[in-house]
Amino acid sequence: MSSPSTADPAYPYLRAATAGLRHHTAAVAAGPPLAPRPVDRVHLDTLHTHLTGLHLLLDQLAEATRPPHPAAGRHLGTAHTRLWQAATEVHSAFHLLPASGTSECDPDRLPDGPQVLTICQRHLAAGHSIRRKTTPTDLRPPVTGCLR
């Protein structure tokens, strides 16, 4: 009997998304030949889309896992909270970058409206799920051991 990871075609879209992120990470690491390009709003908007999608998936997985396996469900719940923190930081970084001319209101690329409204609507929708299940203390960033 072969292992599930090699024989089972389960979760093909999740695997494709993971492969896409790996490819993108390698492309960013390689960078342009002379000068690395700083991140722009379109890039952060796309990254925020991935983070909030994964955030909602982890929420569903934690809810389904908690009854039969409480400890595993708690770990998934913690991952859910940490992803929310990452999405919040990406959302904040998005608003600190200057608008890039046409990216604000390009109806062909942004069918739901201007990019600045789309990312905020997505962030608010994801925020409702985290606020129902966590306390403000849970949402504070974790303290690291290094205090320079």
pLDDT of 35-89, one tens digit each?
567 788 888 999 999 999 999 999 999 999 999 999 999 999 999 999 999 999 9
Residue 51 phi, psi (nearest 5): -65, -45
Cα maximum dimension of the chain: 56
Q: Quote the crossing angle between the two packed helices 70-96 and 41-65, to the nearest 10°.
A: 160
pTM of the prediction?
0.74
CA 116 – CA 118 distance, rounded (Å): 6
- 3 state SS of 48: helix
